Amino acid sequence: KLSARLQQICDQLTPGCRFADIGSDHALLPVAAVLSGQAASAVAGEVNEGPYEAAKRQVAQSGLNSRISVRKGNGLEVIDPGEVEVITIAGMGGALMVSILSQGISKLNGVKRLILQPNVGEDLVRRWLLEEGWYLSAEHILEEDGKIYEILTADRLEKAEAAALNEELYRERLIPGCSQVLNVERLLLMGPRLSEAPVPVFFAKWDSEISKLMKVRSQISKSELEASRLKEEEMRVQIEEWKEVL
Ligand code: SAM
């Protein structure tokens, strides 16, 4: 059985698609997706030897060698152009995810959907999607084993349509329950869909982010260095801003 996090990603796959799971580790997602019929076939990509071997074993044990191809390589280099319609990347930082997508941009021709679950740096991923003209069609947030995860689904639409829809999505606005106007920077940070219809986990995430920042700030405040004082002031402003929004 998949974790709730991987199940949510699986549910976002276009039914019957061919997909590539980049950084697949044990290939749990491709195996479950193909076994359940959610996907027709998959490529499991891994850059590291250990996880690559684990993925090969898992696929062989599941009897899925003919439908899941396990490949060793960096990022999108493991897929051929036009080979898959959907790409999933989960369980790594947003900065690494953006570098994988940028480096492999030519492999994205023909890809219709990206399903991305960054562990941190969700704003970097949203910004990249927006700049590259992907339409953020869904956002999910969930808590599992004390951790909070965000899953971003983006679709390739006709260029003008994506631009118009993204403009609407990131339009500066006042959101019910929030005391402040959300501008594009705040929407990139918190998620335009997540903040539009906030669930309790969303508030839990931002409460915990504020507490983390307050902790770091109180550490820094003990330092006498000029640079630390500037950093502390920056954090104070950031904390106030987040508190105002929520
Ligand atoms: N995707 C799985 C999940 O969400 O449960 C596994 C996440 S695991 C924490 C991250 C995996 O990404 C590791 O197995 C690592 O080897 C792999 N990885 C990191 N950088 C990569 C890259 N540039 N290309 C392919 N795989 C990469």
Give the number of the atom of ligand 1 that is nearest the alpha carbon of residue 99: 23
Residue entry with tokens 């998959």: 42
C-beta of 118 in contact with ligand 1 (< 6 A): no
Looking at the structure, tell me whether residues 39 and 133 fall in a common domain. yes
- The pTM assigned to this predicted structure is 0.94
**Could you tell me the distance, in angstroms and rounded to a whole number, from the CA of residue 100 to the centre of ligand 1?**
11
Q: Kindly give the distance from the C-alpha atom of residue 52 to the centroid of ligand 1, in angstroms, as a whole number.
A: 10
The C-alpha atoms of residue 183 and residue 232 are separated, in whole angstroms, by 24
On whether the CB atoms of residues 17 and 40 are closer than 8 A, the answer is yes
The per-residue pLDDT for range 85-107, each reduced to its tens digit, is 999 999 999 999 999 999 999 99
Q: What ipTM did this prediction achieve?
A: 0.99
The CA distance from 111 to 211, in Å, is 39
Contact assessment for residue 31 and residue 58, using Cβ atoms and an 8 Å cutoff:
yes
Nearest CA to ligand 1 atom 8: 91
pLDDT band at 7 (very low <50, low <70, confident <90, very high): very high
Ligand 1 contact via 103 beta carbon (within 6 Å)? no
Q: Are residues 148 and 219 located together in one domain of the fold? A: no
Number of domains in the chain: 2
Ligand 1 pocket residue status of 36, Cβ below 6 Å: no
The mean-pLDDT minimum among 37-46, 53-62, 198-207 falls in 198-207
Would you say residue 118 lies in a domain?
yes
Which among 47, 124, 127, 116 has a CA at the least distance from the CA of 88? 116
φ, ψ of residue 14 to 5 degrees: the values are -65, 125
What's the domain range around 138? Answer: 4-168
Q: Are residues 159 and 238 in the same domain?
A: no
Distance 153 CA to ligand 1 centre (A): 18
pLDDT of residue 133: 97
Q: Whose CA is nearest to atom 15 of ligand 1?
A: 23
Q: From 48, 56, 115, give the residue whose CB has the most ligand 1 atoms within 8 Å, as the site to mutate.
A: 48
In a domain, 174, yes or no: no
Burial class (CB in 10 A: 0-12, 13-18, 19+), 214: middle
Residues β-bridged to residue 86: 19, 113
* CATH number assigned to the domain comprising residue 107: 3.40.50.150
Q: How confident is the model at residue 143 (pLDDT cuts 50, 70, 90)?
A: very high
Letter for the amino acid at 8? Q
For a pLDDT cut of 70, what percent of the chain falls above it?
A: 100
Q: Note whether residue 68 is domain-resident.
A: yes
